[in-house]
Structure 1
Amino acid sequence: MSAATSLEDLLAKDAITDVLARYSRTLDWLDEEGQASCFWSDAAIDYGFFKGSAADFVPVVMAIERRSARRWHLSGPPAIRLVNASHAEVETYGLTAGARQGDDGSYAGTMYGGRYLDGFEKRGGEWRISRRDYVLDWSHPIPNQPVFDPDAAFPLPILEILQGGHAKYRPL
């Protein structure tokens, strides 16, 4: 393998890793445009509860995320196999947690562990997800999360992201 090929492979893997980080981040910040930029619009998506194109999936998943008062997505390092210069197979483990506020003011939710089985394509010099199958491995309820009021003894800022365009969001 030449140095140029090795460099191109590293650049491809870095671009794919960036897409996966952007996927989680745009869900958490409710950035629908950023979320759409992770997928080719014709990407085949299968989450079990949804099967169809990415163009149809993004509004559905963003509506789900907007129903949560809190959401948090974390992806592990991806395993990437470059098939050729414009196709890659990728598997990434992920943890997701979301919470809704109950009538009594408390927050409760669920944590999910699963994996993303992705196909990536490079089109016009840009890598995006061209196929995604999500596999849920486990879920666990999270009852009684703290409210959004900071603890006076340990005051940490708590974000309440209920819609896109939060003041703390920075395009990266």
Structure 2
Amino acid sequence: MTFGPRDVQTLLDHEQIRAGIAGVARGEDRRDADLIRASFWPDAAMDFGIFAGDLDAYLDWVVPGSPAVPVTQHALGQSVISLDGATALAETHVTAYHRVDFGAEEHDVVLGGRYLDRLERRDDEWRIAARTMLYDWSRDLGVAADWSAGLMGEPFRGDHYTGKANGDHSESFFGASRVAGQR
């Protein structure tokens, strides 16, 4: 089996698309507008069912996040990518964890769904031009565990083991680059 220049370019296109999709997830979890913005074209549109709008409105909604949702984690699954010239369609599975503060108690809520992204290549760069979220399932796991006390009865040896949207150990881990491979 031999690979030609077209095959190599297809692999590079797929990797750049996947990196952009992953950048959005990290940006949402860290509430970092620059990371999110780097993966979307400025004229992008999105529709999440509970929110629809342009990129600026989306950033205004997702970056500060709700104080009632102090922690999120978006775990991405497979992406099916269909390339057609300077346009691509991608479906990416996502499992999203949210710690939700209901006032008297916090709950762990998990949902599963798929991002449907239409991407465009402009000046040799792939970014998302439109995103729609499909929801496949949701589960309220009940009262959240207090991770600050440790794990399975054992205390943590330091305060940097628990994650949060802003100011956790991942910021110092990545330093100025903020995420490996960031453009």
Q: The TM-score by the shorter chain falls in which range?
A: 0.7 to 0.9
Looking at structure 1, the residues matched to 164 and 88 of structure 2 have their Cα atoms a distance apart, in angstroms, of 36
Cα offset for 1:102?
4.6
Q: Which amino acid aligns with 1:82?
A: L
Unaligned runs of 5+ in 2: none
Residues paired across the two proteins, number? 168
Looking at structure 1, the residues matched to 168 and 109 of structure 2 have their Cα atoms a distance apart, in angstroms, of 24
TM-score, with length taken from structure 2: 0.82
Correspondence for 1:28: 29
Conservation of the 8 A alpha-carbon contact between 2:163 and 2:169 = no
Q: Describe how 1:26-105 pairs up with structure 2 within 5 A.
A: 26-64=27-65, 67-84=68-85, 86-104=86-104
Q: Which has the higher mean CA deviation after the structures are superposed, 147-156 or 109-118? A: 147-156
Looking at structure 2, the residues matched to 51 and 143 of structure 1 have their Cα atoms a distance apart, in angstroms, of 29
Cα offset for 1:100?
2.7
Unaligned runs of 5+ in 1: none
Correspondence for 2:134: 135
TM-score, with length taken from structure 1: 0.87
Q: Which amino acid aligns with 1:4?
A: P
Correspondence for 1:159: 163
Correspondence for 2:170: 168
Deviations 1:79-100 (A, max 9, x none): 001111x211110111101113
Cα offset for 1:168?
2.7
Higher relative contact order (CA 8 A, sep 6+): 1
SS class of match (1:127): strand
SS class of match (1:77): strand
